[in-house]
Structure formats: C-alpha cells, structure tokens
Chains A and B, each alone.
Chain A
Amino acid sequence: MNRTPPTPARRLQLISRCCALVAAVVLVILPWPWCRVLLPALSPYVAICSAIASRSVGIVTLAGLPVLLLALTRRRWFCRHACPMGLLTEQAGRLRRLGPPRVVRLPPFGQWIALTTLAGACLGYPLLLWLDPLALFSACVGLFGQTTEIARLAGGIGLPVVLLVSLFWPNVWCRRICPLGATQDLLALSKQIARRRQSARARFSSVGSRPLARRSVLALGLGAVWSAATLQWPARKKCLPIRPPGSVDEPRFAGLCVRCGNCIRACPTGIIRPDLGNYGIAGLYAPLIRFEEGYCLEDCRLCTQACPSGAIGRLSLEQKRHTPIGLARLDPAVCILAAEDRECSACVTICPYQAIEIVFNEEDYTSTPCIDPNKCPGCGACQVACPTEPKAIVIEP
C-alpha cells in the first residue's frame, strides 16, 4: 500500500469526499422526503434503469443527469470525489493493516449487474436496481433512531455487508461489484468506442473492447431471460400485495423499488412495512401496506414524494385521493351489523371518502354496509375501525 504522505490533490479529494459523506448523511436524516429522494436519485444507474423500466422521465430522474454527464467526461469522477460508500469502504479496507492486502482476481461483476439490470429494465423489471450503493447507504443510515424492530433493521443490512466485504477484500466492492461504479465505467467506455468509431482510427488497443462486447451480449441476454422469468412468476400467485399509492404495477414494482426504505420512513402512520417474503422472493424487502393500527391518511402523500426510483409515482394530493391502493370488501357473515343487527356502523362513520352506505333490505330487515368502488381508494380506515375479529371489512388489492 502506498504509505507516502498524500499529495495536495489527494488531500483535496479526501476533503471533498468527507464533505460529500456529511452531506449524504444530512440528506438522509433530514425529515423532508424530497431530501431523502435526492441521494439515491443522484445515481445514473438508478436514473437510467428506472427511466427505461417505467418508460418515463420525471423530475427525480433528472437528478441523475449531472453525475451521468460527469461520468462521460471524467472517468469515475463521482467515485473519486463524492461517493459516501466509496469513502467508507476505503476506510474499512484501511482498518485491516495486518499482513499484505489480499489480492483477489474477480471478474467485473459490477458490469454484469449493471448490464443484466439494464436488460431487465427494458422488459420493465430492473433486476438488481437495489444494489445501488446510494440506495444501500440510504436504507441503512435512514434507520438511525427510527426503529428497534428486527424486521425493519434487517432492511439496512446492505451497508454493513459491503463494509465487511471491504474489510477482508479492500476495493473489491468499488472495483468489481458496485453497479454504480460499473455504470460509470460503461458510460466512459461507450464514449470511447463511439469516438473511436467516429475518428476511424484505432488509437487504443482493442484489449478490453472485445471481452466487453461479449460480456455485454451475455449479460443482456441473461438479464432478459431472468426478468422475463420473474415477470411470469408472481402472476401465478393468487394474492397480490398492497403497495403504497401510485405504485407501478406488480411485478414491475418489485424490480423498480431500490429498497431504500424512504417510503417506509416517510409514512406518518407507519402502515408501510418491509415485505418479509410473504409474496415471493422477487418482492423481498419491498414496501407493503398493512392495515393494523393506521390507515392511508386522506391528507398525506409523503410516500409518493419519497421514492427515488419511480416505483412509487409522484402524486398530487388530489391524485393520491383518487389512486386506489385496494378496495374494501365486506364479509356480511362476520359483520355484526349485517349478521346480528348490532349497533355498529363504525366503518361508515370513519370512512373519509363517504364510500360506504348502509343498505336496508325491506324483505329480511337486514342492514348491510355497501362499498362504492368508485369512491373507495382502499385507504383502510374501515378495516382498522371495524370492531370484529377477524375483520368484517378488509382491503383487497
């Protein structure tokens, strides 16, 4: 390892990275969703793949543009000057001074990951988007002071794992695994290739170019097959999960979601929970809605402002109120009003959208709550309020 005192340029670089780390932490822990969005959204890996997968370019996607342009002009500029994960892994590598650093020969996994995900994105399912370092960083740092729940803490495991890897094999993450680093490499390479074609002069040796071409074809093929398989799989499942309002369709959601945990933290009623694999492996740790204590508030749209990848679309309050996340369904055999004529209309009282009406049947004198599907966005207030156990009224996707 180089033990000579750092040059002024390197010192400057260190300072800028430290500042970037502090800025990243501040962005993640500030209470406003738009701040938290910014960090994962800066990644061109996330920006490109999510724009392709969602077939749209939103304001959040544009946040990735500066880093993308920098990557074209200055190779791995972001890694060297700004990446908080890079700084942390480098420091983790330094901790292990015992013995010479182990050199591992590994294929460039990062490029495989990036290309496979890109191919998946073209089919609408960006496979490994969640491996983005900024998303892993957000997911972990954002948990501080938020929860003591094991299930939720486990969602932040990415960053510690990367650091652990770096402790044993310094630089392996940045050089060989990180899809964001690889995306920058690929961008720089593609520019070189393009330029070479243009000038029609082979200034660079073709070393690296041919394996790259082969790798690209293979990785893209793999990504296409893999995502196509995943897209088919959940369709066979009987029950779909309930996702936050404005989410893209299943199973694209499971791919687009980078698992940064922003929406989970944004939700003031705590109804967004990480999926612990109840709906298949594809959606592991993606956000789900569970109506246990709270419901989706009629005057809140925080989660829709918190998503950096476009898995949850940005909605105005008016749009959110008309975007169904599910639909309330009544089981008249369980409902104490419909089945026993007891003094209950909790669901009607609580419904913020006036979507439930009690319909009286002259014949058998029963009174049954009926839900208007045009009014009910599936906010879950009725499910929470219903006094029966199991609930007579539940939200179904």
Chain B
Amino acid sequence: MTREISRRDLFGVLGASGLAAAMGPFASACRAGVDETQKTSATIVDGKVVQPQRQLPVLHKTDVLGGGGGPAGVAAAIAARRTGVRVTLVERYGCFGGQWTGGLVLIVVGLYAGGKQVTRGIGEEIMCRLDKLDRGIVNHRPGGKPTVDAEALKYVMLEMIREAGVDVFLHCWGVDAIMSGNSVQGAVFESKSGRQAILANVVVDATGDGDVYAAAGARYEHLKYHFGLVSRLGNLDKIDRSKIGPRKKGQKGPNLGSITPIKGVNWVNMHGPNADALDVADLTRMEMNHRRQIWKSVEKLRNTPGYEKVYLVETAPQLGVRISRLLAGTHTLRFKDVMEKRKFADSVGVGGDWNIKNPEWQIPYGTLIPKTVDNLLAAGRCISGEAKMAELLRVIPPCFVTGHAAGVAAALAVKDSCLPREVDVPKLQKILKQQDAYLG
C-alpha cells in the first residue's frame, strides 16, 4: 500500500515537472547497465515526499555535451565536432530544430542588417542544404526572409548531425547539472531508461530556457514573456474567391498567416499573453487555451463563405515559448550598445535587424559565459542580455551564431585544457572565421 501511494506520488511529481512527456526509445543504443536492485523510489517521510540518495548510472562520457537540439544546440554540436573533439547532443523531444521545427516558427528573420547578410556559418549552410530539397525552403535569396518546411528541416539537421559524427541521445530530458564546486562536470538526464548521468569536460546549455545553467547555480534573469502556439492551415489554394465580396478600402480579410514551401499551406503566428514558461501550471493553461482558440478561429474561418475548404493541418508540437531565462553573463548585452553601434574586441558573431532598423550588432564572447559557474557556456535565446535585448537575441539567426561560437569555444577549451572563460579569444575568432562565420 505504502509502495503504491509512493508510486502515485512519484508519478505526480514527474507529471508536474512535465517529465512524463518524454517518451519513446533512444536514437542511439545505450548501455543497459543499471543496477535494477537498487531501490530509488521516492518515499513519504513526515508527510513530505523525499527521494533517497542514490548513485546514478553514467550513460556516456564526452568532451563537449550539448543540452537542447534547437538551432543553437545543433550549430554548437556541429561546430564543436568540426573543431576536433568528441561531442554529444541531448534533446528532450524526437527531432532537432527546437522552435524552428517543433514550434513551427518557420520563418527566419534578422539575417540582414542594412541589406547586408551578417549572420552566416552553420545556419546558412543548413538553409543551403534545404535549397537542394524539393519544397525544403522558400524565399532563400539575398534580402529575403527564408521560410522552411519543418519536416525537411528535421531531416536535414539530423543528417548533418550524423555526418558530423555527433553522438545523439533523443527523448532525454536534462534535469540537473553535475557539479564539483563551481565547475560543471556533466548533466543528469531523465528518460525511459531512468535517471542517468553524462559526464563532459564542457557543457553547452542550448535548452532555450537555460535549464542546465539554472541547475548549476548560475545567476539569471527570470522573465515572463508572451508565448503562443503556431499552427498551419491547408487548402488555402482552394479558397473560392467568387464567394468573397469586394473589400472596402483599408478593410482586411481574415488572418491566413504566411506562406510555407508547400503550396496552399500557410503557417499562422500567435503572439499570445505573457506567462511564466518555467511554471508548469502556466504552460498547461497556455497549451489548453491556445489549442481551443486555434480550433475556434479555424472553425470561424470555415464558416466564412469562400473559405469552407480551409482546414487546420496541425498545431505546433511545441508550445511557442519565446523567453524565460536570460543568463547573468560576464558581459550583458545592452540595447543602447546596439543602437550606438558599440564594437567589442571579443566579438564572436553578429546579429542583424528585424522590424526596427537597428544596425548590425556584435555579440561579445562574455554573453555566453556565466559569471560564477565554470565549464559551462550558454547559447541561443537564453544568453546574457538585458530584457530589452530579448527581441533581438531570440530570433533564429543570432541563436545559430551564438551556438556556433559556443561550440567552437567549448572545443577549444577542451583542446587547450583551459576553462571556457580562459579561451584564447583571437584563436576562437580565427577558427570561427575559417568556419565561415562573420564577426563584424
């Protein structure tokens, strides 16, 4: 009886932290050497649920461990591997791309500044690979805003990771950091195989939410930001224009979103309300409300004369979380610096403009390095910037750029046996340039 209660409680705890969502087998085979006899269930002691201390099986050892397989994580893994070290990439879901694929955020904005392409490197390479596929990408031309097909992108990213020789664990949810004092030694993951450790010389946190650096005790800013749920509409080429009367000047039709590489299919954005992406109650509420809203609005559209054939292709498998944590790095990027075109000697990449005609902005290496924690680098939308920078930092191109830089820096730290904060920056910049990055 006691055991049953504790099981149910444990399941409740797991469910509450969203762990139950991680399902399916590992992509790569992993050792099944777990000590089955070791009793590790949580128990109730004095009315409190406690987890007994236990030894964790080590799933894997690596040089550079990437947590999170979004644009930043994929770029980091490929870059680190190309710099010549062993790399492991761990992702909680079954594919790579993060918001770019799972979130259905298909459009890439912010590649350019003042008409010049400023974000290059691995992100550009991925889009060039998509060019070769049928219906892989549209608008991938100078000055354009490329829009990808999520399935083509998932395929291309997986292939590139495979070609690079990166070890992969999918369906693995990073839940803790392994620490020795202030220094990160690896991370703990939950999966169908249970709780396991991966040991690494350097860890790159590309989870978008900074899950690893938060667990490691790094300081950060916690923001409540708007999040939505993206969806795709189909049969837009079957709209019966004859049933739609002439529109008055200035009057707009229903919101049909923006084009995708597939004819008749558009993706529809959602701004959504502010909420806490680190609070499972908020995540649940958003997911439930957003789904209902999308269904209702598509229903309304189908009841509009001319739009009867339009249908909902899918809602994004991943909730559209934009920002949750921003690292307190050794350098915090300021919006003022961007607008005043400040230059940084330790630039590891450049971001472009989108909507506001801001100038190109350099991203200093310090924005990836936590102030107090060692052997850890951040990449992607959770790096160090003031809240006002979030809009610029979070779009896909700078996530690629910071991922690329973090990957090379982590590999250099391993090769030169130093801490990431001690990496020889000119050498890092030289390698980045050799790998076709633009540093401003």
Interface residue ranges, A against B (CB under 8 Å) = 333, 337, 339-346, 349-350, 358, 360, 362, 365, 367, 384-385, 387
Contact = CB atoms under 8 A, between A and B. Distances in A.
User: Interface on chain A toward B: helix, strand, loop, or mixed SS?
Assistant: mixed
Interface string B123-151: 00000000000000000000000000000
B356 A385 contact: yes
A295 B228 CA distance: 32
Interface stretch (B74-82, B271-279, B362-370, B406-414): B271-279
B297 interface: yes
Nearest to B109: A343
Given A346-B355, A350-B356, A358-B271, A339 B226 contact: no
B271 A341 contact: yes
A360 B355 contact: no
Contacts of B270: 341, 365
Contacts of A385: 355-357
Interface string B45-58: 00000000000000
Nearest to B273: A360
Interface in B395-416: none
Nearest to B107: A343
Nearest to B271: A367
A209 to B, nearest CB: 64
Given A342-B269, A344-B355, 4 more contacts: A340-B252, A346-B356, A358-B226, A358-B271
B272 A360 contact: yes
A33 to B, nearest CB: 22
B394 to A, nearest CB: 10
Interface in B273-307: 273-274, 293, 297
A180 B340 CA distance: 45
B358 to A, nearest CB: 8
Contact of A337 (B252, B258, B271, B388): B271
Nearest to B355: A346
8 A-B pairs with least C-beta separation = A346-B355, A367-B271, A360-B273, A385-B356, A346-B356, A349-B391, A387-B355, A365-B293
Contacts of A333: 250, 252
Nearest to B296: A365
Interface residues of B, number: 24
B335 interface: yes
Contacts of B226: 358, 360, 367
Interface in B325-367: 335, 355-357
Contacts of A362: 273
Nearest to A357: B274
Nearest to B357: A385
A365 B297 contact: yes
A349 B388 contact: yes
A344 B226 CA distance: 12
Contacts of A349: 335, 355-356, 388, 391-392
A361 to B, nearest CB: 9
Interface string B374-397: 000000000000001001100000
A201 to B, nearest CB: 72
A345 B356 CA distance: 9
B255 interface: yes
Most buried by B among A339, A345, A384: A345
27 contacts: A337-B271, A339-B252, A340-B255, A341-B228, A342-B269, A343-B107, A343-B109, A344-B355, A345-B355, A346-B355, A346-B356, A349-B388, A349-B392, A358-B226, A358-B271, A360-B226, A360-B271, A360-B272, A360-B273, A365-B270, A365-B272, A365-B297, A367-B226, A367-B271, A367-B272, A384-B357, A387-B355
A153 B388 CA distance: 41
Nearest to A385: B356
Contacts of B268: 341
A350 B355 CA distance: 10
Interface string B257-274: 010000000001111111
B391 A345 contact: yes
A343 B391 CA distance: 10
Contacts of B293: 365
A385 B391 CA distance: 14
Contacts of A365: 270, 272, 293, 297
A297 B48 CA distance: 57
Contacts of B107: 343
